[in-house]
Structure 1
Amino acid sequence: MRLSTVILPHRRWSEGGRASWQRAEELGFHTAYTYDHLSWRSFRDGPWFGAIPTLTAAAAATSRLRLGTLVTSPNFRHPVTLAKELISLDDISGGRITLGIGAGGSGFDATALLGEGEQPWTPRERADRFGEFVPLLDRLLTEDVVSHEGEHYSATEVRNIPGCVQRPRLPFAVAATGPRGMRLAARYGQAWVTTGDPKIAETGTPEQSRAAVAGQIERLGEACDRAGRDVSGMHKVLLTGFAPERPLESFDAFTDFAGRYAELGIDEIVLHWPIADSIFEADVTLFEKIATEGLAGL
């Protein structure tokens, strides 16, 4: 079992931003991720910085900590420009980057680039774009020269030399719960990401939440079987904070939570870095104790 964190890009680098990433490395987290959004929910009207520049700065400020997005989506990214940024970031970090990637939702940045009269993408349209985005990004990160003419994306003799430090490319952690996303995860993912079942996040029980994740893992296994792949070789990541459980209520609550999800097959738990006066508010002392001691008994 691995323990990682998400550090939201809401603070100026000189006013606590740098310190959080360096502290994450000191505490021994496996990976520190950040959201790849233009803004997000309750933070929409406050400070918010870009994911790629933040991760670049974090790469320069740390030496061992893995870094990544959780998650990037097609909502405002194009695979051609994203690939160039990721190759550069992987180089700057010395091969410490993981790309968390998903189909995107209907949040604030889903409509930021729409013109007057344009309608937001439907769930099916988002899935269609994601289905083209991931394979093209895979090619862009593994081939020196790529051309592609698709329904949603084009690339004409795009050069990405010298490619990633990590070979054949940096790992993808694919966020997926539906059948199309599961197929992409089985085909292209080195890891799979879930937040649980959003339909029971506020009204469900911990037992229902675990049952939902168990069902997702079962469907992931079926998708891997169809792809000719052993699901045991895929890393399974749980991003906390969006399910009925409250693992940061106490040390014992966390160890019980981690143990139960480890039994289901989850092998990386991601905790949000505490943010006062937000849904991610938590006791910092407890958070650091969990970071350093929480997995010792598993």
Structure 2
Amino acid sequence: MAFSLDPASSAEMDRIKQEIADSFDEELEMEIDESRLETLLADLSDHPDREQVERRVYFRELFRLQHELVRLQDWVQHKGLKVVIIFEGRDSAGKGGAIKRITQRLNPRVCRVAALPAPNERERTQWYFQRYTAHLPAAGEIVLFDRSWYNRAGVERVMGFCTEDECEEFFRSVPEFERMMVRSGIILLKYWFSITDEEQQFRFNMRIHDPLKQWKLSPMDVESRRRWEDYTRAKETMLERTHIAEAPWWVVEAVDKKKARLNCIAHLLDQIPYGDVPKAPVTLPDRVRHDDYIRQPVPAELHVPDRY
């Protein structure tokens, strides 16, 4: 029996297809190099609908921006800069996806991600910022905070993990804490990823029904849906009280994941002046061979079974 979807269901199906395509594209992104990029874009050009045009633009721009991120990384090392980038936003807002695209092609010894778990008993008795300062960069390093000390103004406040007095002390302290960081020579950037109520609902449902993504949905995330307005009020207060000249907030409109990633990376690159670093040419030396060395075969029992 034939059946048709109503307009609302059809729109929902389109969104689901886009979400699935985005998951596939994530795998493609790691395989892209300059020689394969043009072939990939040519394949997409055989399907000149709007979605494929957008994918071509996305792949081309992402690859170009990642080239620039490598140049920035080299500059940070060369000049001994210290860079901190904070990513905040609601659960499922796309912070992790943006962080992944930034770090995809960078040296993990230069650019690392700090994603701190809930504090343990000892850490709860420390000065609030103490466990975060241990992750700040030395010269020539970039640190991306996947959530940061702003947990206090968001999840801790909304979920009742801190008192209002503790939250008020945070608002008094954080501007000076960040000014101290900037005075010490740290370049500090703060991004808030913004999505709509409807988009978060959709992304949570996708996680619920996708076995490969269910791990992303914690009990805290589920509770955050019920407290959408509480989180909104907390966010508005946080942005108002911690937006300072030395370290302003930048809001990334993140309903469209791909555009959000590109916009964030392009903006990040604009905030830190950088240039080319002179590099000495690399020449591989001739391999040394010894007449008295005979390579021994690897015992068969040490081999991983060849199943594919």
Would you say same fold, with TM above 0.5?
Answer: no
Greater relative contact order, per chain length (Cα 8 Å cut-off, separation 6+)? 2
Normalised by the length of structure 2, the TM-score is 0.29
Q: Which has the higher strand share?
A: 1
Bigger CA radius of gyration: 2
